[in-house]
Structure 1
Amino acid sequence: MSQAGTPGAKYLEEKHALYNAPRSSKRRRWIILGSIAGLIIVIIAVAVPVALTANKKSSNSDSATRGGGNDPANPSSTGSSGGSGSKNLAVTGGDGSKVTTDDGSTFTYSNSFGGYWYWDENDPFNNGARPQSWSPALNETFNWGIDKIRGVNLGGWLNTEPFIVPALYEKYVNARTPAVDEWTLSTNMAADTSSGGLQQLEDHYKTFITEEDFAEIAGAGLNFVRIPLPYWAIETRHNEPFLAKTCWTYFLKAIKWARKYGIRINLDLHALPGSQNGWNHSGKLGDINVLNGPMGYANAQRSLDYIRILAEFISQDQYKDVVVMFGITNEPQESVMGMEVLSRYYLQAYNIVREASGVGEGKGPMISYHDGFVDRAQWAGFLPGADRITLDSHPYICFNGQSNAAMSTYAKSPCTNWANSFNESMSAFGLTAAGEFSNAVTDCGKWVNGVNLGARYDGTFAGNWPSQGSCDPWTDWPAWDDTMKQAIMQFALASMDALQNWFFWTWKIGNSTVSGKVESPAWSYQLGLQNGWMPKDPRSAAGVCGNTSPWQPPLAPSQTGGSGAGSVPASVSSSLAWPPPTISNAGAVTLLPSYTQTGSVPTLTAATFSVASGTATVDAGNGWANSGDSASMYVAIATCSYLDPWVGPNAAPPSPLCSGAARRAGVPEPLITAVPS
């Protein structure tokens, strides 16, 4: 979610059958054959449902066959792990089945939509799970533009934000340097050794989102999650205080849980070194240092390396059917960077992701580009012929003019404000999805705009914002009556219908330690489900805006990985060549600090899996999909000088930039490992 750092700033998912050899007796042979035939019939009767569920082959099922009803491959609970010494646990189940988690605890799976989970510890990359009867299982093709994305963000989990997880920040809000972003939160935590230091963040990772959340998401009729992930999942450099690499471990858990419940993942690179927008969710509140200012080019080089490392991991066969979309940069500020420079960066990222997935049409993730808060129409025709790219837009109405009008007056606002432009973009650009939206029509809610920045609605936000009254009616959700809840429900349904393919922001808002409750209720899908202002079945949104088929498929073949995909015209590639000649607020790129490709690449490790004794080792991949992608990592040049990556746009570049004696002081080379062969 966009956060305002300055007044008025723009806010914005094998079996074996053993038979004994027949004996010489003809009579016994027929008896045995007859027995075997009977046994086979029994085995087929029992095994077919599981085999259908566990089928690893891709199936291009027509979405019409998934329109409703229980899937025949949905047993309530069947199968066992198998193998010597394995646990006797069910490997699949539907509504009402018992689920056993990693720690041995259990819960009852609730899914009235024909979805079923699948997890076999001896077959951990099986993609047999289905979230709902109308959504394709992971081992089936997701038909972009036909199958609907009905998703939710897991905001505040692996990339924290104060308003989503206020309890983390409230502890340090009165510190000498108050915690206002993950940089200052990490600094305060590291100093607080008596409370566990920086490892407090891992305690948050363990508890804020768990396996049961993924089960609930599938049971809510949702088929995608968008997971914000910061660059420090890979590494940190210099004085960056973040807890490095740990959140990657929990992203691997997310992949496992998503696979278990049939949910697809949109991996969203939410925070870049130096910050791509200056908002608190980018790691540090303040300046923009990606494609802006004296370190803007070097930080972009570093960001592109992280995009490459993530793309190589998720393009592996073990993960590509779960992590099917890659948002390469969340909410870059085009108004600062410039459209041409941002477009060059986007094309370079496209080339990097496609190289990681290997040559060939339809390989690798759908690449999601945020619109940079530029009108969607301006992206029409971007990268013609590119293989499976999608436009990510974050429509919010709560950060501009404020009104004390009743919630019911917003019933059709999404239809009026968003439906036509999303329709047009689906035709002019291709797949267009709302990567974020919420039920908020005001900016009320604790720290929605940032820690202690107040709200426009009640006049406490910096700038000339006339008060519309108290925020209490918009945040005191235990006091909401049925009229208020139905009005919010109507707004949510209209939003879903207008946007067509969407990810609600966000699944969960944590309780405040001060009040003991959620203080930003308009942003929590889970809270709305529990209390009656979010739809139990998101399909009920269809037609709310007056048209049950707002946009007519199909997408162009190149947009879905079909014939001709991936061939960006040479003229386009030439006009958007990398690097850009100049960087905003810094000048010629040749006069700015830059890195060189001489470092080893920190490849991402996979989870390990415990299998029954005597079974084959599970291949979880080596983190690198394309062995032909052998370029080194961008690192500092020994004879050049550098500024702090977070220095801000007003600093002058080092002078001299490079010389035989110059060396950047205090910035050690990153701890990196070799590129896998």
Structure 2
Amino acid sequence: MSNNDPTRNVAYDPLPLTGDDQHSNTLYNAPPSPDPRLSSFHTPQMTPGELGPDDSAIPLGAAQPRFLGAALYDGPGSPAMRDSFASSQHTIPNSVYGSSVYALNDGQGRFEGSYRDDPRDSYYAGEHGGVPMSPVVAGHSRVLEEKRAAYVPPKTKSRRQVMIAAIIVAIILIILAVVIPVYFFVLKPSNNESSSVPSHSAHPSSSASVPTPSAIAVTRGDGSLITMEDGTTFTYKNQFGGTWYWDENDPFNNGARPQSWSPALNETFRYGIDKIRGVNVGGWLNTEPVSIVFCSVRSTRLFIFLVHVCLFARLFLCAVFIVIIIYSSPALYQKYSSNPTPPVDEWTLSLAMAADTASGGLSQMEDHYKTFITEKDFAEIAGAGLNFVRIPIGYWAIEVRNGEPFLPKVSWSYFLKAIKWARKYGLRINLDLHALPGSQNGWNHSGRLGTIGFLNGPMGYANAQRSLDYIRIFAEFISQPQYKDVVTIFGIMNEPQGTFMGQDQLSRFYLQAYNIIRTAGGTGAGNGPYVSLHDGFFSRTSWVNVFPNADRVTLDTHPYLCFNGQSAAPMSSYATTPCTSWGAGVNASMGSFGLTNAGEFSNAVTDCGLFLNGVGLGTRYEGTYSGVWPRIGSCTTWTDWQNYDRATKAAIRQFSLASMDALQDYFFWTWKIGNSSVSGKVETPAWSYQLGLENGWMPTDPREAAGVCGNSSPWTPPLAAWQTGGTGAGNIPSSVTSALAWPPPSISNGGAVSTLPAYTPTGPIPTLPGPTFAAATASIDVGNGWANAADTQGLSANIPGCQYLDPWVDPGTAPPPACAAAQRRDEPIAAPTPAP
């Protein structure tokens, strides 16, 4: 289908920027601000049609990737390249063997073992017949020639021989320096890790091990020393009264508190009153193209140890050799940029990795999971005054089918680590299902760049069935009592392009997913997570009363300014733009819909940044994106953060504070951004919370945002009782449930659902496993992965005899012949019984 369909375009309102540019002395007239009466501001490239004609070089559906986030080596306490040992110029001394020891004792015993050539000994010179030492004439003596013949002195070593010996010694040292640490720092830790991290073919066991009892429960605060799983340590810094809590004997204790003003995990978070101050950890368990230094934990340990060994042995060349070997690993995506088809999404990256068996194949993805986000990041997030993390994850955390190349199941084991770390530091989690089968938006962060195959095209219904299964599996796990106080929000789908599938079809899917989640966790206050529904790029007002009386539902919007018309206006001119653009709409939605959150926003006001629009797609600001945007200027002004002056940092900080105040409950995108492998620095500074903290343009205390917008008519809490799980929660009128019954009668670009490929719920359910702990005294109940034992419906499976297309097939493909109606089992999940 054409990618120039005007119905797919979602216009961005311009910004209210006018004035004199002090630097260029020119008059600029930036477009006006988005109308404050509007309630929806969208992510860029709402449609592939915005990317140019079909014959353009831009891939269909290309749009903004967000960030694979922060570099492994760009922060305090991170390992860094070390200075060389070259200045010492030490050499190995050349020992000269220029003499030998001669045998001075008579071999025949004629002098009773005495020395024969002592001329001063009267005893030998007298009656015992001692013989005085003969004078040496011309280098000869009477007896010494015999001894010289018997004891030939060693030859003097040549310089060449000494150098050869030194090289041999150096080689031996290098071999020892590699073999020993490879065992102790790679093989042995890997064996230990394999006992706690599942293999790639199956989930880990849910049973807990029982080793030696640990010390008493530990809880500390600011200034305490933290030891991570790999043995490294860091100092916990939290000036806001936050306390961490961790006890191996009681791993589900929820006593940790992120800050003094945020409820501890064992206390009630009052949504609508207590503010969600959150950040995404994007690019971790769902990768996106951006430059990131890629070096595994094992390589890091090995690098540090080997360089130390080499320097200790004063072998400079050895140290250089090790640096070259270990640090030849380039960026995660850039490693394969010279491939005939460079990777542009996790699908193509997975294919490239799998083909690269010499580097470890697809297991390289796990190296990324291990190193990109660690426990220290969660500790720093709490120390930054934040209380929530939004964690994007792909459906392949559960399974893959039909040759899908993603690494299956492994990311789930790292999500379990995230739960552990969040629990330890008192953070709550928004589980964000970022990628669904067939792609819900066609963008690279959905797993595969290209077309939209979810609720669109011949496989649109079947892909939606699979997606509901995955939502159900996640919901059953996080609704268990061990996890429900940590994973408190479930974002069931990231950025669906609603204009492709239609709001009616999307609403039906949302209601079905809602019923599934409430069946898993149950209605009533505290049972099951909040259900986060993305606006699908429709206005916020269009969702009012779509799900009346729905129990604990929040509307998710992603307000970005940077993907619209570009302006050279200085950052200071955006000081109140978030207030006028977003504040009134958020207030209205909080009052009419209920809890409204900004799942993503950033400090970017232009689209300047490495890979921001996609791999090799350029920027609008510089006029290099798709060839249809006029050049505004150079992006260097916006990305050269190392040369930001004090005024620029203050302007960015003001913008971030205004954004936080206007959005009220938010998740900044993203916590960290990776260094470019070319420039060695972050090339997208407007998107990194961590970089902003380190350099002074993000607030050290997010509470400073309160009142920045000075809104004269803000929404006043609390939320209605039914919006928070109280009286009336879950009493959705039957007229609404009938009107939004699942499945929808038809699918966009596919036709009647009755004529499309569908699955039957007869497959086994791949229940998600719990974590393992080094627990004492008794095994710890980690749950069986299924909160509601009464939920026994099987997983969607192929109907025997029916034909199926590739789940990622082009939506314009004709559907196969329909199966007989008797073979189909389209059984909707019944609405759960509402709370009394």
Report the 3-state secondary structure (helix = DSSP H, G, I; strand = E; otherwise coil) of the residue aligned with 2:336: coil
1:641–1:658 contact (8 Å) kept in structure 2? no
| 1:3-82 to 2 correspondences below 5 Å | 4=45, 6=48, 8=50
Matches of 1:496 and 1:440, distance apart in 2? 14
Matches of 2:701 and 2:712, distance apart in 1? 16
Question: Which one-letter code corresponds to 2:668 in the other structure?
Answer: F
2:100: which partner in 1?
none
1:98: which partner in 2?
225
1:479: which partner in 2?
643
Alignment match of 2:246 (pick from 113, 119, 136): 119
1:218: which partner in 2?
382
**1:644 equivalenced with 2:644 (yes/no):** no
Cα separation, partners in 2 of 1:324 and 1:84, compared to 1, 3 Å: closer
- Shift in Å, 1:173: 1.8
| 1:386-465 to 2 correspondences below 5 Å | 386-465=550-629
**1:306 equivalenced with 2:348 (yes/no):** no
Question: Which one-letter code corresponds to 1:623 in the other structure?
Answer: G
Question: Which one-letter code corresponds to 2:539 in the other structure?
Answer: D
- Shift in Å, 1:102: 2.0
2:461: which partner in 1?
297
Report the 3-state secondary structure (helix = DSSP H, G, I; strand = E; otherwise coil) of the residue aligned with 2:810: coil
1:160–1:281 contact (8 Å) kept in structure 2? yes
Which deviates further from its counterpart, 412-421 or 95-104? Answer: 95-104
Question: Which one-letter code corresponds to 1:144 in the other structure?
Answer: Y
| 1:142-157 to 2 correspondences below 5 Å | 142-157=269-284
Alignment match of 2:797 (pick from 631, 635, 639): 635
- Shift in Å, 1:660: 12
Matches of 1:87 and 1:655, distance apart in 2? 62
Question: Which one-letter code corresponds to 2:759 in the other structure?
Answer: Y
- Shift in Å, 1:550: 2.7
Matches of 1:365 and 1:268, distance apart in 2? 12
Question: Which one-letter code corresponds to 1:100 in the other structure?
Answer: T
- Shift in Å, 1:174: 2.2
- Shift in Å, 1:105: 2.3
Cα separation, partners in 2 of 1:84 and 1:288, compared to 1, 3 Å: closer
- Shift in Å, 1:479: 1.3
Matches of 1:199 and 1:247, distance apart in 2? 11
Cα separation, partners in 2 of 1:309 and 1:299, compared to 1, 3 Å: same
Alignment match of 2:521 (pick from 345, 352, 357): 357
- Shift in Å, 1:8: 2.7
Matches of 2:43 and 2:229, distance apart in 1? 35
Number of residue pairs the alignment of both structures matches? 589
2:757–2:818 contact (8 Å) kept in structure 1? no
Report the 3-state secondary structure (helix = DSSP H, G, I; strand = E; otherwise coil) of the residue aligned with 1:8: helix
Matches of 1:164 and 1:435, distance apart in 2? 23
Unaligned runs of 5+ in 1: 13-82, 662-677
- TM-score when scaled to structure 1? 0.85
1:21: which partner in 2?
none
Question: Which one-letter code corresponds to 1:640 in the other structure?
Answer: C
Matches of 1:515 and 1:195, distance apart in 2? 24
Matches of 2:509 and 2:812, distance apart in 1? 22
| Deviation per residue, 1:255-289 (Å, 9 max, x gap) | 00000000000000000000000000000000000
| 1:192-591 to 2 correspondences below 5 Å | 192-358=356-522, 360-547=524-711, 550-591=714-755
Alignment match of 1:129 (pick from 256, 262, 287): 256
Matches of 1:523 and 1:164, distance apart in 2? 13
1:433–1:501 contact (8 Å) kept in structure 2? yes
Matches of 2:748 and 2:291, distance apart in 1? 32
Question: Which one-letter code corresponds to 1:592 in the other structure?
Answer: L
1:266–1:324 contact (8 Å) kept in structure 2? yes
- Shift in Å, 1:534: 0.2
- Shift in Å, 1:510: 1.0
Cα separation, partners in 2 of 1:627 and 1:477, compared to 1, 3 Å: same
Cα separation, partners in 2 of 1:491 and 1:582, compared to 1, 3 Å: same
Unaligned runs of 5+ in 2: 1-41, 52-62, 66-209, 294-330, 824-836
**1:610 equivalenced with 2:770 (yes/no):** no
2:344: which partner in 1?
180
| Deviation per residue, 1:379-422 (Å, 9 max, x gap) | 11221111000000000010010001111111111001000000
| Deviation per residue, 1:515-557 (Å, 9 max, x gap) | 1111111000000000110000000001110139832001011
1:156–1:164 contact (8 Å) kept in structure 2? no
1:46: which partner in 2?
none
Question: Which one-letter code corresponds to 1:629 in the other structure?
Answer: D
Task: Specify the structure having the higher radius of gyration (Cα).
Answer: 2
Cα separation, partners in 2 of 1:183 and 1:576, compared to 1, 3 Å: same
- Shift in Å, 1:163: 2.8
2:159: which partner in 1?
none
Report the 3-state secondary structure (helix = DSSP H, G, I; strand = E; otherwise coil) of the residue aligned with 1:469: coil
| Deviation per residue, 1:568-591 (Å, 9 max, x gap) | 110000000000000001110000
Cα separation, partners in 2 of 1:361 and 1:109, compared to 1, 3 Å: closer
1:67: which partner in 2?
none
| Deviation per residue, 1:114-134 (Å, 9 max, x gap) | 000000000000000000000
Cα separation, partners in 2 of 1:258 and 1:95, compared to 1, 3 Å: same
2:523–2:551 contact (8 Å) kept in structure 1? no
2:44–2:564 contact (8 Å) kept in structure 1? no
Matches of 1:84 and 1:312, distance apart in 2? 29
1:158: which partner in 2?
285
Report the 3-state secondary structure (helix = DSSP H, G, I; strand = E; otherwise coil) of the residue aligned with 1:269: strand
Cα separation, partners in 2 of 1:156 and 1:548, compared to 1, 3 Å: farther
Report the 3-state secondary structure (helix = DSSP H, G, I; strand = E; otherwise coil) of the residue aligned with 1:168: coil
Question: Which one-letter code corresponds to 1:628 in the other structure?
Answer: A
| Deviation per residue, 1:457-489 (Å, 9 max, x gap) | 100000421000111111111111111111100
1:672: which partner in 2?
none
**1:191 equivalenced with 2:233 (yes/no):** no
Question: Which one-letter code corresponds to 1:649 in the other structure?
Answer: P
Matches of 1:442 and 1:375, distance apart in 2? 23
- Shift in Å, 1:490: 0.6
Matches of 1:474 and 1:147, distance apart in 2? 34
Matches of 2:44 and 2:352, distance apart in 1? 21
Question: Which one-letter code corresponds to 2:636 in the other structure?
Answer: D
Report the 3-state secondary structure (helix = DSSP H, G, I; strand = E; otherwise coil) of the residue aligned with 1:597: strand
Alignment match of 1:595 (pick from 747, 759, 776): 759
- TM-score when scaled to structure 2? 0.69
- Higher RCO (C-alpha under 8 Å, 6+ residues apart): 2
| Deviation per residue, 1:27-49 (Å, 9 max, x gap) | xxxxxxxxxxxxxxxxxxxxxxx
- Shift in Å, 1:361: 4.8
